Amino acid sequence: MNKIIKAGLKRLIDLSVSLLDKTIIGRYLYARIFDSVVGRTQKVEYRGLNLIFSIPNALNRYRADTFSTKEPETLEWIDSIPNGSVVWDIGANIGLYSCYAAKQRGCRVFAFEPSVFNLELLARNIFLNELTEQITIVPLPLCETLAASKLNMTSTEWGGARSTFGQSYGQDGEVMRKVFEFPTIGLSMVDAVELLKIPQPDYIKMDVDGIEHLILKGGKPILLKVKGILIEINDEFTVRAEDASMYLKETGFTLKEKRHADYFDSDTGSGKHTFNQIWVK
């Protein structure tokens, strides 16, 4: 029934937009509606810190609403980072944690985010929080080695996730349901430092939904100098989990803990088996 209602609403909206587009006044109204949607923001307060995020759709409103509850372990990990550290946020999405690390800990953040649909909101959120001097956007995917390939995506929504560079599987190891793709250039962590001259990271947050182990494999020389890592891993994707663990141990890391919010324990999907792992030296 919900699918029927949603399909009906979509047809009604499509018809309304089509009718608006036929007159000058209609096009003006449509432009004003669009500008209003894109310009919507929401304030978030956490531990006395005020942040503001762009919320042009329901997904981004959800991200703002659950800022303090969806990944409390990530916020606690960021709180433990020494002030002024260099942080790489690999898979930054719309920049919630990039903004928090920069504003709460005074970190110099490099936000790696290749999704063309997320880059606009990432840039907006950095600007809204007056962090353009502290956060640099790197609009390229990290991978094992320098390569030209495609970013395969399961969503074209602003704020969407679960995209994979150069591979056909998703975060659970299963073949992903691709709805969009575009060609781009991927590079390794070594390439990012040597070719792009991005500073060596002190800390890394990584959430790229499937190829974390490949990024770690290609970045071992960089990992040797990293002090701490938070990485999201789905335990059901055993090859990824085992390889990621192996590469981190080879570069001197020890697993401190793995956690997720309690409500994920009752998740019927992949969330039940997905944890943020915290690795230390």
Encode pLDDT of 153-162 as tens digits.
999 999 998 8
Looking at residue 16, its pLDDT comes to 67
- Say how far apart CA 127 and CA 120 lie, in whole Å: 11
Q: Do the beta carbons of residue 89 and residue 65 sit within 8 Å?
A: no
Looking at residue 30, its pLDDT comes to 63
Domain 65-280 architecture: 3-Layer(aba) Sandwich (3.40)
Six-digit token string for 120: 């606009």
> Which ranges of the chain have pLDDT less than 70?
1-3, 6-10, 12-17, 19-20, 26, 28-31, 33-36
- Say how far apart CA 105 and CA 215 lie, in whole Å: 26
Q: Give the alpha-carbon dihedral of 243, 244, 250, 254, to 10 degrees.
A: -130
Looking at residue 246, its pLDDT comes to 96
Question: Measuring CA to CA, which residue among 97, 64, 63 is closest to residue 81?
Answer: 97
- Say how far apart CA 137 and CA 158 lie, in whole Å: 17
Looking at residue 9, its pLDDT comes to 66
Question: Measuring CA to CA, which residue among 42, 37, 34, 66 is closest to residue 129?
Answer: 42
Looking at residue 247, its pLDDT comes to 97
* Triad 253, 256, 262: Cα angle to 5°: 140
- Say how far apart CA 261 and CA 2 lie, in whole Å: 28
- Say how far apart CA 170 and CA 115 lie, in whole Å: 15
What is the SS3 assignment for 46? strand
Query: How does DSSP assign 162-199, residue by residue?
Result: -EEES-SB-TTSSBP---EEEEEEEB-HHHHHHTS-PP
Looking at residue 221, its pLDDT comes to 97
Looking at residue 100, its pLDDT comes to 98
Q: How far is CA 12 from CA 5, 6, 36, 196, in A?
A: 11, 10, 20, 48
